[in-house]
Amino acid sequence: IVKKDLNNDNLRLCHRLDRNTCGLLIFAKSNEIENEITNAFKNFEIEKHYLAYVNNYKFNKLHDILEDYLFKDTKTGFSKVYKEKVVASEKIITEYSVLEQNKLDNYAILDIILHTGKTHQIRAHMSYIGHELIGDSKYGKNEVNKKFKKTKQLLIAYKYNFKFNKN
């Protein structure tokens, strides 16, 4: 669909965004560049930044790096975060910085950097610390989503930092 919309058969999508997440995508014009960028994502040479609108403006820290464990239940498609490792869980690292706090409407806007990239990592991790994404029907709160009149999570891939080796 994207290739058709861009009207260029030579473009190759180098990564994906989760359903209901919007934002920047990276395309390549050749197989060689596609492989380079795909490998750079796998090797964390491209730092992904997301804007996230979350419930609850109060944070103990305005910047933190969260390290926990995520277990994805393949039967339900639901991921759960644990402080300690459990069977079949994987370590997740999510960094956030609070960009704005709105006391009146009780929400905050965060810059989130993924240091690991697991399914539903941001959504599950933010919910785990009591800051559910606004509009998230799976990990969020229905009353919050209704308050803000949102049916899709407010999570936007907005910036990529390229950290390629100079060799």
Specify the pLDDT at position 3: 44
What is the reported pTM? 0.88
Render 90-118 in DSSP notation, one character per residue: EEEEEEEEEEEEETTTTEEEEEEEESS--
Specify the pLDDT at position 131: 98
Specify the pLDDT at position 9: 66
Using one digit for the tens of pLDDT, what is the confidence trace for 111-133? 999 999 898 999 999 999 999 99
Specify the pLDDT at position 43: 87
Sign of CA dihedral 88, 126, 22, 91: negative
User: Which residues of the chain register pLDDT less than 50?
Assistant: 1, 3
Specify the pLDDT at position 8: 60
Give, in order, the Cα–Cα distances in Å from 140 to each of 5, 62, 153. 32, 21, 9
Specify the pLDDT at position 1: 43
Distance in angstroms between the alpha carbons of the first and the last residue of the chain: 36
CA gap 30, 50 in Å, rounded: 27
Of 44, 14, 40, the closest CA to residue 29 belongs to: 14
What contacts 24+ positions apart, CB below 8 Å, involve 115-119?
115/44, 115/65, 116/90, 116/91, 116/92, 117/41, 117/48, 118/70, 118/72, 118/79, 118/90, 118/92, 119/18, 119/72, 119/79
Catalytic residue among 18, 64, 105, 111: 18
Active site residue 18: yes
